[in-house]
Amino acid sequence: MAQKKSFSLDDLAKAHGIERKVEEKKEDYSKYEPKKYKERNNFTPKSFNSTLFTYPFNFVSLGDKVEKEERKLGKNSGKIECSLINYTPIFTGGEKSKSGKHTTEQFLEDRENYIISASTLKGEIRNIIETITHSCIRCKNEEIVPEEFKPCDNLKRLCFACRLFGTTVEKADENGNSAYSGRVYFSDAKLPKAKVGTSLTPLKPTMTPNEKLKKYYLDKSGRMRGRKFYWHHENLLSNKNNKLPYKREGFKPKDSVTIVQLIKSLKTFSFKVEFKKLTDIELGMLIYALELEKDLLHKIGRGKALGLGSCKISIDSFELFEESRYNFSSFTPNRKVEDKNIYLEKIKNRYLENNSQVKQLRVILNEKNKLDFSKGAYLRRDSNKGNMPEILSYK
Per CB under 5 A, residues contacting Zn ion are 136, 152, 159, 162
Nearer to Zn ion, 129 or 159 (CB): 159
For residue 114, the minimal CB distance to Zn ion (Å) is 33
Nearer to Zn ion, 67 or 219 (CB): 67
Measured distance between the N- and C-terminal CA atoms of the chain, rounded to whole angstroms: 75
Strands 258-263 and 198-203: antiparallel
Helix (H) or strand (E) holding 217: none
CA dihedral 54, 57, 58, 64 (to 10 degrees): 180
Look up residue 21 and give its DSSP letter: P
For residue 160, the minimal CB distance to Zn ion (Å) is 8
CA–CA gap between residue 152 and residue 222 (Å, rounded): 23
Nearer to Zn ion, 66 or 388 (CB): 66
For residue 227, the minimal CB distance to Zn ion (Å) is 13
Q: What is the DSSP string of 326-394?
A: ---STT-TTEEE--THHHHHHHIIIIITT-HHHHHHHHHTBS--S---TT--S----S-GGGPPPGGGG
For residue 366, the minimal CB distance to Zn ion (Å) is 28
Q: What is each CA distance from 243 to 54, 66, 91, 146, 373, in whole angstroms? A: 18, 43, 16, 39, 15
Nearer to Zn ion, 136 or 300 (CB): 136
CA dihedral 328, 110, 106, 297 (to 10 degrees): -30
Q: Please compute, for residue 127, the number of CA atoms within 13 A of its CA located in the half-sphere on the CB side.
A: 19
Nearer to Zn ion, 281 or 344 (CB): 281
For residue 68, the minimal CB distance to Zn ion (Å) is 8
Nearer to Zn ion, 132 or 136 (CB): 136
C-beta neighbour count of 243 within 10 angstroms: 14
Q: Is 392 exposed, middle or buried (0-12, 13-18, 19+ CB in 10 A)?
A: middle
CA–CA gap between residue 237 and residue 280 (Å, rounded): 42
For residue 145, the minimal CB distance to Zn ion (Å) is 11
Nearer to Zn ion, 67 or 338 (CB): 67
For residue 215, the minimal CB distance to Zn ion (Å) is 26
For residue 70, the minimal CB distance to Zn ion (Å) is 13
Backbone angles phi, psi at 356, to 5 degrees: -60, -35
For residue 185, the minimal CB distance to Zn ion (Å) is 19
Nearer to Zn ion, 144 or 379 (CB): 144
For residue 66, the minimal CB distance to Zn ion (Å) is 7
Nearer to Zn ion, 84 or 224 (CB): 224
The sign one gets for the Cα dihedral 209, 213, 218, 223 is positive
Smallest CA-to-CA distance from 182 within 166, 195, 167, 197 is with: 166
Nearer to Zn ion, 138 or 190 (CB): 138
Contact 179, 95 (CB under 8 A): no
Q: Name 168's bridge partners.
A: 179
CA–CA gap between residue 101 and residue 361 (Å, rounded): 40
